[in-house]
Amino acid sequence: IKMLRDPRKNTVYFCSALTVFQIMTSVIVYFAAPLVDKFGFGAYRRFALPTIIVLACTISYMVVILLLSAMLSEGKFREVVQSVTGASINSAIVGTVILSQNYGLRLGESVVFGLGSSIGYFIAMMLISEADKKICHERVPQAFKGLPITLIYISVLALSVYGLTGH
């Protein structure tokens, strides 16, 4: 919600960067996670995996920033980096990578799972963005204006999406 209301951040840049970080982090973790067992830290996998994911996010961020700084003009780089930085540490990346590791997905499956998660995140952001523009209605009681009505909307949206999954 904060990102959607920040005029300095672009939703398309954010979601594009999220997708790139998601895929890069999935690939890095896919190859790095087995090293935990290989070096005898299998008992600590539960603690080591989040550390590996954070390091993979950091590496992904550094690579993307270096590529963007080389490819874009300084003005465009400053515009894009506002959205890219928030995407690099998004909890959607961590959750998706942990799930793909826990499910034991292969590399291709992990990448597709990350891509699907990023697309789902983008659709959710678009739905929330549209609703944010429309729920400023005068019939909304004063106590519910702003964040409360937005959170109610997100809750109903989450329940409807959960219902579509067959539960």
- What are the pLDDT tens digits along the chain (167 aa)? 666 666 666 777 788 888 888 899 899 999 988 888 788 777 777 788 888 888 998 898 899 899 988 998 888 888 788 778 777 777 778 888 888 988 889 999 999 998 988 888 888 888 887 777 777 777 778 888 878 888 888 888 888 888 887 76
Amino acid 31: pLDDT: 92
Contact 60, 20 (CB under 8 A): yes
Q: Which residue has the tokens 């659709």?
A: 123
Phi-psi map region of 7: left, alpha, beta (phi>0 left; psi -120 to 50 alpha): alpha
**Sign of the CA dihedral with 49 first, then 32, 19, and 54 last:** positive
| Distance from the first to the final alpha carbon of the chain | 27
Amino acid 109: pLDDT: 93
Whole-model pTM: value is: 0.76
**Residue 152 token pair:** 């109610």
Report CA-CA distances (Å) from 155 to 12, 60, 77. Answer: 23, 32, 35
Closest residue by Cα to residue 20 from 102, 100, 98, 87: 87
Q: Which residue has the tokens 């935990």?
A: 36
Contact 57, 92 (CB under 8 A): no
Contact 48, 80 (CB under 8 A): no
Amino acid 128: pLDDT: 81
